[in-house]
Structure 1
Amino acid sequence: VEFDDVSFGYDDERPVLDGLSFEIRAGETLAVVGSSGSGKSTVSLLLPRFYDVTHGAVLIGGHDVRELTLDSLRAAIGLVPEDSFLFSDTVRNNIAYGRPDATQEEVEKAARAAQADRFIAALPEGYDTTVGEHGLTLSGGQRQRVALARAILTDPRLLVLDDATSAVDAQVEHEIHEALKQVMEGRTTLLIAHRRSTLNLADRIAVLENGRLADLGTHDELQARSALYRRLLTDPDGLGGTSPGHAHPTAVQAVDEDTSVREELDAEFDAERGVTPRLWTGDREPKDTALAGTPATPELLAEVEALPPATDTPDIDEARAVTPEESYGLRRLLR
């Protein structure tokens, strides 16, 4: 699979991908990471031609995907998007959607690989249980596992997983990953990684920034040379997914989460790109800058003077006012 100088935008004014080029070797598992808005999920939508590129080409086996029929292209791709769609039909028919001639044994084997067999067995009618439109009678994690079983059953040449385990807990995710290792062995796989734990499955990792390839290599190579990659791992929201508190203990962990290390990584990241260091560090006072102490301009003072006077004073329930605990934070809550 090759992305050759690909540019794309959902509208003409805001490109999402800008000259993106990388290659997935045959039988390789490549993870794509980047902050929210970097374009990583868009990559998964261009392979099956849900959208066509505006510049460059996406190639599979040396063939431009635009030269292939949609039927043959999509038959070769098993896609599990972040928001999986299920039909108002039985669990069995939802799993066998891509292969309606599959035997019951094949359906159950795919369900086991997706760690879906146990919850399916607990349903009122097992595999014959009808789920509501969009699978609303199932939880988010159950819908994802049914969709994953559907992709596994088609035995695709190319497997594309976009945050396919975002709605399951850490233990189930770990079990799915263990099963996926067998499914992905020798199969070309693209992982859109929103969690650090997903990176354990990848042979190589592509780092995206503003729709471009910032770096590509193994986890060890990137951790040694890429400040952006280290920053993505360190920031709880860096990958645009779940915080590290959710990750399984064996997952790739952030380097040192101490504040001083975070500041050092930020400074290194800024220095690489020649940008002005951040004015704020954590929850402390702003750093000194050249603008510190600069008096307001006459224009600004005039605008402030023109503001209407306050007409009311908000009521404050002092009995309910509390002093926040300094050590309290989202990361502690999730742990």
Structure 2
Amino acid sequence: MKRSILFICSVLLWYSCSDDDKAIDIVTEEIEYGAVVRTLQFNNAEFNVGDPDSVFSVDIEVQDELDGDLLEAVDLMVSFVDNTPAGGDFSTTEASLGSLLPEDFGLGANGFPKITLNYSQAAMAAAVGVSLENISCSDQFLLRTVIRLTDGRSFTTGTASSIILAYETFFSSPYCYTINVVEPIDEELFTGDYVMTSIIDGPLGPTFNESGTLVSVEKASHSNTVRQVRLKHILSHPSNEQPRIYEFSIVCDQVVFRKNQLSSVIGQCTFSTSSPILLGPGEENAPANILDDSVFEVWFVEGYLGFDGRCGFGTAPSRIRFTKQ
């Protein structure tokens, strides 16, 4: 675990000294006395509608204060969210997908327990008791992890700060994966050079510094419908921080911003916390036209899950537009 702590500390040293040392102390304490399911990489992030054999696959690693030696089990819970309830709402409560025991894991390159989770759409549907006929494009499965330690403690959603939850960070430990049910699209759609503009500014101004400039949108390697763009949040360090990867999915007729995306490692108004501003989807998604990708929008919120970086705005909407060049 010392390797993980040293990595985080080296990142936070950009703004260390005096009161800012508190941020390092908080992050160190959170990892030293907790446990995370670290996302190493997605192999396939979504289910294809009408394909029971499509598989969600992700490589994970378990870390605790004794480098995995405290692990008793990782419980897997799944639920179904019906986002197309016109013919009836088939949403479910959680059901068990089973538990992973220490002997189920191998030893990863970092010296921690590692495993690849592979679950088909049919397996998850069976676990929650949903007929495949009642699963439509834009519905979702939620796969939640619960780490149980031998000393009686457990860790799951609601037990970590945004710097731990956020994707594209060292830990990337959301404890819950959202699996969209999608319709595959042409891989060239919604890719290329676009001018990105802010059409609804975030609570601190345009969310990203690149507003009004040319950016490149690319297809993600782990999904047919996921797109990536590199941007810098308004609170990013001007020179010591590179643009972050932000992801959104073309889910049927909607553009869905990914959950748990970090603003910046220093994206906060006070450094007395290890919880920078988190970005995520709002209650509404932007419309998408899979026949025309010349102009599209991405709608999201800053302060996702209430992580507003101690800036005091709570949760606030932001919208950006991409115009193809």
TM-score of the superposed pair, with normalisation by structure 2: 0.25
Q: RCO higher in 1 or 2 (8 Å CA, sep ≥ 6)?
A: 1
TM-score normalised over the length of structure 1: 0.24
Larger proportion of helix:
1
Structure 1 or 2: more strand by fraction? 2
Is the radius of gyration larger for structure 1 or structure 2?
1
